[in-house]
Amino acid sequence: MLPEEGEPLPRRKKVDREALNAPLMRIPGMRVEVVRALLDLGIREAYELVGRSPEVLAEEAAARPAPPPPFSLLPYLRLAVYYAEHDPPEPALLRPAAWS
């Protein structure tokens, strides 16, 4: 439906292209908001998560001025660290629900 003459056009949803194209998006079950939080912390690749504490990463992400996502980051961060540290990972553990 087109707006009436003189009405502003509806805004498009903002897309985080950097996060969508980041190598971290290759982690199964990963969400764009989590990748954005990791990018903001300076983490660009999955190997950089090896040996990191998901709890500390969640605290660091919460301390940033960006608005928090509408869901808990911790299960996703646990999944990401697990994925980085295990080759091959267990398929049953590649879902955020397994880390809640």
- pLDDT recorded at residue 6: 72
Write the pLDDT tens digit of every residue in 8-49: 777 777 788 999 999 999 999 999 999 999 999 999 999 999
Q: Report if residue 2 sits inside a domain.
A: no
Which has more pLDDT, 65 or 52? 52
Query: Would you say residue 53 lies in a domain?
Result: yes
Cα–Cα distance for residue pair 52/69, rounded to 1 Å: 21
Residue 11: inside a domain, yes or no? no
Cα–Cα distance list, 40 to 33, 83, 86, 92 (Å): 11, 20, 24, 29
In this prediction, residue 69 carries a pLDDT of: 81
Structural domain contains residue 6:
no
What integer pLDDT is reported at residue 1 of this predicted model? 58
Residue 72 lies in a domain: yes
The answer as to whether 12 is a domain residue is: no
Residue 73: the pLDDT is 93
pTM exceeds 0.95: no
In angstroms, the Cα distances linking 11 to 5, 35, 37 are: 16, 24, 24
Domain that holds residue 53: 17-99
- Asked whether residue 2 carries a pLDDT value surpassing 70, the answer given is no
What is the tally of structural domains in the chain?
1
